[in-house]
Amino acid sequence: MKKAIVAMSGGVDSSVAALFMKEQGYECIGATMKLYDNEDIGVDREKTCCSLDDIEDARSVAYKLGMPYYVFNFKDEFEKKVIDKFISTYEAGGTPNPCIDCNRYLKFEKLMKRMEELQYDCVVTGHYADIEYVNGRYMLKKGKDLSKDQSYVLYSLSQYQLEHTVFPLGKYSKEKIREVAEKNGFINAKKRDSQDICFVPDGDYSKFIEQYKGKTYPCGDFVDKQGNVLGKHNGLIRYTIGQRKGLNIALGHPVYVISKDIESNTVVLGSNEDLNKKSLTARDFNWIAQKPDDKISCFAKTRYNMREVPCVAYCDGDRVVVEFNEPVRAITPGQAVVLYDGDYVLGGGTIE
């Protein structure tokens, strides 16, 4: 009998993923990753995922399914690989995507190591994505429910990880998953999806960073493209590329953050048109498909919730250059660019 570790967050998706694996005859254990103490991030325990409530919900479902259930303490790794990187990316002028790092370093690195230690066969998650074996390679595919598709945050998976991962929800809609949960009497059938970054549940990134680091970030100048001073900003970490709201500056016409300069501690403002760019360079690129020798035509996403746009991509040393057919708005350093061919993920990397 094959054995699976099911990553259980306490939410409805991972709970139904566990049910589906049991129905397929797998011997399963449920595992919740303990990633931080709520006191460390300055929030009440009820307000965030990975709380005691979530652990109890996951335990309840595991008990109902007759599965052993464990909580694995990965706090040190989460702090080092996710929180510290989140802060350092903001400090360097970028805008991070910590969910990608959490998938990469926790779910599919630490949890897979635990899978190997226990001599289990696979790690199972409730992601809306799919895996297919095509022409000798494991390929990551979009989930059938495109409104929930999570392939964008999974681009870093290696061939080994794809071989030992199962996404049971890939062929289902969210509505169907809730139906299944309700039919099986799961305590979390109607539980709402968490929208925020788990360790910043109120969405105030700058407040979190200042609390966590115990420091404040200096004010500086808003400037235009020519370097003329337009006003004062409240610290670089409070701004991201494309931002219009919350600038607290009145110039008689709309302005947007178009870049940030760490050395001069300035935020450059410009027009909406100034945000349009025709190319980007990405580092730490992971090819899921075979690495191309030449230029390829494909589609790209530079943010999780944007539509894909046509482009040409090619390798330039250890970087990947993406050139868009039409200008793309608010390309942001620190975010991910992910390349697609139809439903298949070709690969992805971090925008420089």
DSSP label at residue 93 = T
Is 259 annotated as belonging to a binding site?
no
Known binding residue 147? Answer is no
Q: Are 324 and 300 in contact (CB under 8 A)?
A: yes
Is 33 annotated to bind a ligand? Reply is yes
Give the amino acid at 227. Answer: G
198 is catalytic: yes
Of 292, 325, 320, the C-alpha closest to 308 is 325
Helices (H), the chain: 12-23, 38-41, 52-64, 75-78, 84-91, 98-102, 111-117, 159-163, 174-183, 205-213
| 7 annotated ligand binder | yes
Q: What is the CA angle 267-272-275, rounded to 5?
A: 65
Q: What is d(CA 318, CA 245) in angstroms, rounded to the nearest whole number?
A: 36
Q: Is 13 assigned to a binding site? A: yes
Task: Report which residue type is found at 93.
Answer: G
Question: Could you give the 3-state DSSP secondary structure of residue 301?
Answer: strand
The answer to whether 11 is annotated as binding is yes
Catalytic one of 102, 122, 311, 315: 102
Q: Say how many Å lie between the first and final Cα of the chain, rounded.
A: 46
Q: 103-109: which pairs have CB atoms within 8 A and are 24 or more residues apart?
A: 103/153, 103/154, 103/156, 104/156, 105/77, 105/81, 106/33, 106/35, 106/74, 106/77, 106/78, 106/81, 106/82, 107/7, 107/33, 108/156, 108/157, 108/161, 108/165
Q: Is 122 a catalytic residue?
A: no
Nearest to 289 by CA among 165, 91, 138: 138
Confirm or deny that 12 is annotated as ligand binding: yes
Point out the catalytic residue in the list 50, 198, 298, 311.
Answer: 198
> What residues form the annotated binding site for ATP?
7-14, 33, 126
> What residues form the annotated binding site?
7-14, 33, 126
**Which residues are catalytic, by number?**
102, 198
